[in-house]
A and B are shown apart, each in its own frame.
Chain A
Amino acid sequence: NAGVTQTPKFQVLKTGQSMTLQCAQDMNHEYMSWYRQDPGMGLRLIHYSVGAGITDQGEVPNGYNVSRSTTEDFPLRLLSAAPSQTSVYFCASSYTTTGTDTQYFGPGTRLTVL
């Protein structure tokens, strides 16, 4: 298994540009989520999904969209990038949707918005 994969690893955007961060998992996990990590802030939940076709907002959803058309993929879309979205983005997945399993994290995407 490749586990949780994310592309790209690094990205530089200009303010106002849009882009999609890709996340895929091959472990047949129901739960998938996106976090952002900022220095001194820990990780904060952006959006999550408990299965294909089901998504919901986390703590910091503004400026981001998600969809989940398959179990494997959970892309994160930045609609109009802002410098405040400069961060490291992690995708995670879990077998359960009830918190009894750990979440497995992808390698991260480091995004800079100029």
Chain B
Amino acid sequence: ELKVEQNPLFLSMQEGKNYTIYCNYSTTSDRLYWYRQDPGKSLESLFVLLSNGAVKQEGRLMASLDTKARLSTLHITAAVHDLSATYFCAVDEAGGSEKLVFGKGTKLTVNP
């Protein structure tokens, strides 16, 4: 059974600082997704990572995937208040089944 763990679950950081959110998963998969959720809102897709070594960047966010370590990271560079949200990683249960298993989410708060 696939398990997905995110660390940390809560993150409070200052504007301008860098930080990394980690997503570990327990069984082989080469499809990993990152989503953002604002309070009371739906999920917004950030990144789709489809192979070992995949790296994608959008603005101050960069995501990477290491399938051998079963690890994905979401790196935040020079955080700004607008990045405050909950970030979820999700892993495809069978590497192409579309059955996603989500982590519990990382609630990020960026303070001025």
With CB as the reference atom, state the residue of chain B lying closest to A98. B96
Stretch binding the partner chain, chosen from B42-50, B62-70, B76-84: B42-50
Q: CB distance A33 to B98 under 8 Å?
A: yes
Chain B residue nearest in CB terms to A94: B98
CB–CB B42/A107 < 8 A: yes
Q: Residues of B within 8 Å of A, CB-based: how many?
A: 25
Task: Give the chain A neighbours of B31 by CB distance below 8 A.
Answer: 99-100
Q: Are B88 and A99 neighbours in the complex by a CB distance under 8 Å?
A: no
Q: Give the nearest-CB partner of B1 in chain A.
A: A59
- Digitize A41-78: 1 where CB-to-B-CB distance is under 8 Å, 0 elsewhere: 11111001010000000110000000000000000000
B48 contact set on A, CB distance < 8 A: 100-102
The answer on a CB contact under 8 Å between A42 and B88 is yes
Given contacts A101-B48, A106-B42, A108-B42, contact A50 B105 (CB under 8 A): no
Number of A interface residues in the complex (CB < 8 A) = 29
Given A42-B88, A107-B42, do A99 and B102 touch, yes or no (CB 8 Å)? no
CB of A103 closer than 8 Å to a CB of B:
yes
Interface mask (A73-109 → B, CB under 8 Å = 1, otherwise 0): 0000000000000000010101011111111111110
Give, as a whole number of angstroms, the nearest-CB distance from A105 to chain B.
4
- B99 x A45 contact (CB < 8 A): yes
CB-CB under 8 A from B103, the residues of chain A are 42
A–B Cβ pairs within 8 angstroms, 13 of them: A31-B98, A40-B104, A42-B4, A42-B88, A42-B102, A48-B98, A50-B98, A97-B98, A99-B95, A99-B97, A100-B31, A103-B45, A105-B42
Closest 10 CB pairs of A and B: A42-B102, A102-B45, A99-B31, A99-B92, A99-B96, A105-B43, A43-B102, A98-B96, A42-B104, A105-B42
